[in-house]
Structure 1
Amino acid sequence: MLVSPALGTERKEKPLVIVEQGSLAAGGTVQKTPGKYTNNAPTSQGQSLHGDHLYAFYQVPEKPRRLPIVMLHGAYQSGRSWETTPDGREGFQTLFLRRHFTTYIVDQPRRGRAGNSTVAATIDPAPNDQLLFDQFRLGAWPDFFNGVQFDRDPEALDQFFRSVTPNTGPYDASVVSSAMTALFERTGPAILFTHSQGGEPGWLTAIHSTNVRAIIAFEPGSGFVFPIGEVPTDMPSAAGTLKAVEVPPNDFARLTRLPIVIYYGDNIPTEPSAERGKDNWRVRLAMAKLWVAAINRHGGDAQLVHLPEIGIRGNTHFMMSDLNNGAIADHVSRFLAEKHLD
């Protein structure tokens, strides 16, 4: 029996065999300053800056399946979202390695281990733990929701807050999708997992790369793309107004060539609410339903799974690391099998 170093919890899993692992950068740009570089009197002249690339850590299990999985995180996060859960259990990275999928864990450009931005930004030490507790639907601070699938051990919450990391440059979905497209050129055909803010660059990556063979999107929060002339009206909420993104019809049509499933968790109201953390997700779920309908109206293959409606309850915005993440992984695995992608 093994012991998790995160919280000292016992684990019963069998040893995981990895036959290859490594990391790489993909995409990005190079900026060059005119002039001549002088070794012993260096200035910016004649020098270059490599930036706006992503970082990807990959692992290959024994007997790997034919399609790897690329996992893209959301706002305030890095690739850690997919790794060990805040309470020390196996996250999606390991759960899917055990299912014999090669995994690529991404830190998007200007975040985490891909922090070299070509555009300046100021990083302010803003206190926002309580806002994120509400925003990510763990509860209404300081109280957890009843039945929430999050470990209430204070150490788990501390680990969760310490997963938050800032942008080192302005967030730009096109910069992220450009780097992701470059990564898919390296991986070849693969499955794309996205979370939250990763939704929009995920759609854009699939538009630009035929190597994206399926998208599994966990609570996409913004950047829903619609063809010109079919953009829904803006959706106001207690947390602000959600706007869709307009793209050329030919670009949108590329999203109809691959299977897509979107997951949303619990504690999302169907009617307007004064509770900011909840109402924020009311409009995002509503927009996602319109988006799925648009994809299917154009001949695509998209579905939305609202977990409480199928009897899976208590999930937060981070369902891939919730206490029942194994059940979520099982549902995803069934989807991939149904689409002959396993």
Structure 2
Amino acid sequence: MYLGGSISEYSFGNIQTEGDNVRRLCSFFAVMALALVLVGCAATKAPLASDPLTIASQGSFFVGGRNVKSNDLAMVGFFPPTGTITVDQIYVHYQVPVAAQRKPLVLVHGCCLSGKTWESTPDGRMGWDEFFVRRGFPTYVVDQASRGRSAADTSAIVQVKSGRAGSDKLPDVFGAGQESAWQIFRFGPEYPKVFPGMQFPLEAQAEFWKQMVPDWSRALPTPNPTVPALSELARKLNGAVLVSHSQSGIYPFEAASIDQRSIAGIVSIEPGACPKASDDMSIYKGMPILVLWGDYVDQHERWAGRLKACREFASVANRAGAKAEVVVLNDVGLPGASHMLMQDKHSLKIGAWLADWLDRHIAK
């Protein structure tokens, strides 16, 4: 460090002072370098629920729907029985991050559930709707037709109750009991046994059971009205990745048969069904497709058969030019996932793996 003059012109005390200055400057630059490292880490770290959530916009809307005129809307006196209602629409809640560059994700729930599937986990942790926003993806959470905030047509029930139709005209609505759901969701081989290492937060199961709602899917037209609504939503978004789960697992594939141009990719999580290997695969040419599975699948006959069928689909689809993968989380170092893997204790690790897959396979 040059202070003017030669070293010989300075006393011993001045030389000591110069050494102190050098040490101070070295310490200053070391602190600055550490601060820059910490800032860089903060920019790339995994999102935390404690970090402020900054979004460009949020809101909700409906897609699809049709008007139905009925003489059996009510028997309560203060509402007339005759009128027009709207049915078969889907409810959509969205959040868009600041300066979003990735394709939107449309999150579709499965049987006996609603869009709550993707929100805060039963034990209060960050849900995938928020996680993927923090990772830069606009997220659109759907309530299927006749589920959650998407209204159902109750006219047939009123018609039977009023005596104007027989009980055989009642809609085929059903609910899933906690004991049967326990096995189907693979918390364990049977209620209340638990699979070793299973990651669903069973300490919060009472909160999870509150998410279960009546399922109207068997009372709806074919294809399920959710399917054309998803196709319409993807077009409105100028391209989207459809992320489905369980019962809705087949819906993105069916939406692709309507218009594959607006579907940037498909992520089907433990689908109730994949397309049959004999189906027309040309609609999936060039399309990134991920069929994602949790653990213990081989210990449940229903799911083992579906995994096998999905592997057959992927093989045939790839020969037709698709970009399909079937991934079991245990094979990529994420064991213990239940059927409700987006709510498991390691759900954010699974989400991070999925976000990386999307970044590698979906064009921005």
Same fold by TM-score greater than 0.5: yes
**Pick from 97, 106, 121: which aligns with 1:70?**
106
Structure 2 distance, partners of 1:65, 1:117, is 39
TM-score normalised according to structure 1 size: 0.80
Structure 2 distance, partners of 1:14, 1:268, is 36
- 2:234 paired with 1:198: no
The residue correspondences of 1:232-247 to structure 2 (distance < 5 A) are 247=279
User: Which position in structure 2 is the counterpart of 1:284?
Assistant: 306
- 2:351 paired with 1:329: yes
Structure 1 pair 33–335 and aligned structure 2 pair: CA distance change class (3 A): same
Structure 1 distance, partners of 2:321, 2:201, is 41
Structure 1 distance, partners of 2:286, 2:225, is 23
Structure 1 pair 124–28 and aligned structure 2 pair: CA distance change class (3 A): closer
Structure 1 distance, partners of 2:121, 2:249, is 21
Structure 1 pair 185–12 and aligned structure 2 pair: CA distance change class (3 A): closer
SS in structure 1 at match of 2:310: helix
Q: Give 1:115 shift.
A: 2.3
User: Which position in structure 2 is the counterpart of 1:255?
Assistant: 284
Structure 1 distance, partners of 2:235, 2:88, is 17
User: Which position in structure 1 is the counterpart of 2:121?
Assistant: 85
One-letter amino acid matched to 1:213: A
SS in structure 2 at match of 1:111: coil
Structure 2 distance, partners of 1:124, 1:67, is 35
One-letter amino acid matched to 1:290: E
User: Which position in structure 1 is the counterpart of 2:212?
Assistant: 164
Q: Is the contact between residue 174 and residue 204 of structure 1 (CA under 8 Å) also seen in structure 2?
A: no
User: Which position in structure 1 is the counterpart of 2:60?
Assistant: 23
Q: Give 1:125 shift.
A: 7.7
Structure 1 distance, partners of 2:244, 2:91, is 15
Structure 2 distance, partners of 1:102, 1:41, is 40
**Pick from 264, 268, 274: which aligns with 1:217?**
268
TM-score normalised according to structure 2 size: 0.75
User: Which position in structure 1 is the counterpart of 2:131?
Assistant: 95
SS in structure 2 at match of 1:205: helix
One-letter amino acid matched to 1:62: V
Cα RMSD over matched residues? 2.3
Spell out, residue by residue over 1:112-163, the C-alpha distance to the aligned partner (whole angstroms, 9 max, x if none): 110233774557785711100111001121122111111231xx10111111
Spell out, residue by residue over 1:54-83, the C-alpha distance to the aligned partner (whole angstroms, 9 max, x if none): 000011122212411110111111101110
- 2:328 paired with 1:306: yes
Structure 2 distance, partners of 1:126, 1:197, is 14
Structure 1 distance, partners of 2:79, 2:288, is 56
Structure 1 distance, partners of 2:214, 2:49, is 35
Structure 1 distance, partners of 2:340, 2:350, is 11
Structure 1 or 2, whichever has the larger Rg, is 2
Q: Is the contact between residue 49 and residue 118 of structure 1 (CA under 8 Å) also seen in structure 2?
A: no
- The more displaced of 253-262 and 110-119 is 110-119
Structure 1 distance, partners of 2:49, 2:104, is 26
Q: Give 1:201 shift.
A: 1.4
Structure 1 distance, partners of 2:223, 2:245, is 13
Higher strand share: 1
Structure 2 distance, partners of 1:311, 1:128, is 32
Structure 1 pair 126–50 and aligned structure 2 pair: CA distance change class (3 A): closer
Structure 2 distance, partners of 1:50, 1:188, is 26
**Pick from 53, 61, 70: which aligns with 2:89?**
53
**Pick from 127, 150, 154: which aligns with 2:200?**
150
- 2:141 paired with 1:141: no
Q: Give 1:183 shift.
A: 1.6
Q: Give 1:324 shift.
A: 0.9
User: Which position in structure 1 is the counterpart of 2:177?
Assistant: 128
Structure 2 distance, partners of 1:189, 1:98, is 20
Structure 1 distance, partners of 2:243, 2:79, is 47
Percent of paired sites with the same residue? 30
Q: Give 1:257 shift.
A: 3.1
Higher helix share: 2
User: Which position in structure 1 is the counterpart of 2:319?
Assistant: 297
User: Which position in structure 2 is the counterpart of 1:239?
Assistant: none
Q: When the two structures are aligned, how many residues end up with a matched partner?
A: 294
Q: Is the contact between residue 30 and residue 48 of structure 1 (CA under 8 Å) also seen in structure 2?
A: yes
Structure 1 distance, partners of 2:66, 2:134, is 35
SS in structure 1 at match of 2:225: helix
Q: Give 1:225 shift.
A: 2.0
Structure 1 pair 159–180 and aligned structure 2 pair: CA distance change class (3 A): same
Structure 2 distance, partners of 1:125, 1:196, is 16
Structure 2 distance, partners of 1:295, 1:333, is 23
